[in-house]
Amino acid sequence: MLTRNLEKARDAFRKNDPEASRKAHDGDSAPEEHQTGHGQYLKSFVYGGLDGIVTTFAVVAGVAGANLSSSVVIILGVANLIADGISMAFGDYLGSKAENEYAAAERVRETWEVRNYPDGEKREMVELYVGKGIAEVDAKIAVEALSKNEKAWVDIMMVEELGMIENQESAIKNAMVTFGSFIFFGSIPVLIYAVARFIPFFAEHTFITACVLTGITLFILGTLKIYFTRQPWYKAGTEMLLLGGFAAGAAYIVGILLGGLV
């Protein structure tokens, strides 16, 4: 457990408040508990949802631009939702699995080198730190101290030498979160057309309603990106709204241009 409260430290940075930063680091705030599961799969949730709603709404916009029936929207939308959702999940699983396996293999190699040729590894660390502008005498002192703890030594070599930060997330859980988020958010534009069959108001304003709900959802999902990017929430939300709108607009124009082929 660290005395620093990370969330309050970030908030102090955003507000440019040195006093709040001091309190966050000196333990005047509630200390930060390390929770390995906290936010672990949020990135897959956010980006899976964004990809789901953008790609599905692009299909809806394209079909609407071609002035086809709501039945075609539902059929193509659902087909795209399932196929792309599965593809995204498999891609996320295979990518996460490959990264985890590669990092694990490199850790085994680094550990072997530390145990069998420690002098060479120390020299490498000294060279790395000197390359960053640290005086050689200070670099040697730091390396000697770090080399007394094998795990810390290997951890630092993974980052400094290989540029690798090991990912502890489960590849299967990542894929499940991506798929679930993709299906949930991607179904929003299609559901409007399904509901329109039973509610007259939606039947008369189906595409407009789908545009409004999709835009709201894009903005909300965009604001969640601040967890990774630390952008202002309104900037992140607006950016995602504009990007999603651009993709949908392009699909709508293509639908208009190709509508005569139907």
The tens digit of pLDDT for each residue in 154-190 reads 888 888 777 767 666 678 888 898 899 999 988 988 8
Residue 39, pLDDT score:
54
For residues 227 and 111, state if they share a domain.
yes
Name the average pLDDT for the chain: 79
For residues 213 and 101, state if they share a domain.
yes
Is 261 inside any structural domain?
Answer: no
| β partners of residue 2 | 32
For residues 78 and 11, state if they share a domain.
no
Is 84 inside any structural domain?
Answer: yes
For residues 3 and 54, state if they share a domain.
no
Residue 35, pLDDT score:
45
Percent of the chain with pLDDT over 90: 3
For residues 18 and 51, state if they share a domain.
no
Tokens representing 181?
Answer: 């988020």
Name the least confident of 13-17, 72-76, 242-246: 13-17
For residues 161 and 190, state if they share a domain.
yes
Asked if the model's pLDDT at residue 204 lies above 80, the reply is: no
Asked if the model's pLDDT at residue 136 lies above 80, the reply is: yes
For residues 126 and 5, state if they share a domain.
no
pTM of the complete model: 0.70
Residue 25, pLDDT score:
62
For residues 96 and 157, state if they share a domain.
yes
Amino acid at 27: G
Is 169 inside any structural domain?
Answer: yes
Count of domains observed in the chain:
2
| β partners of residue 32 | 2
Q: Name which of 209, 181, 184 is nearest 195 in CA terms.
A: 209
Per the CB < 8 A criterion, the answer to whether 15 and 7 are in contact is: no
Own/partner pairs, 98-104, CB within 8 angstroms, 24+ separation: 99/167, 100/166, 100/167, 100/171, 103/158, 103/164, 103/166, 103/167, 104/166
More confident residue, 33 or 83: 83
Residue 11, domain extent = 1-33
Question: What letter does residue 253 receive in the DSSP assignment?
Answer: H
For residues 22 and 127, state if they share a domain.
no
Residue 34, pLDDT score:
46
Tokens representing 118?
Answer: 């420690």
Residue 68 and residue 61: Cα distance in Å, rounded? 10
For residues 245 and 147, state if they share a domain.
yes
Kindly report, residue by residue over 25-53, the tens digit of the pLDDT. Answer: 665 555 444 444 445 677 788 888 888 88
For residues 1 and 116, state if they share a domain.
no
Per the CB < 8 A criterion, the answer to whether 222 and 236 are in contact is: yes
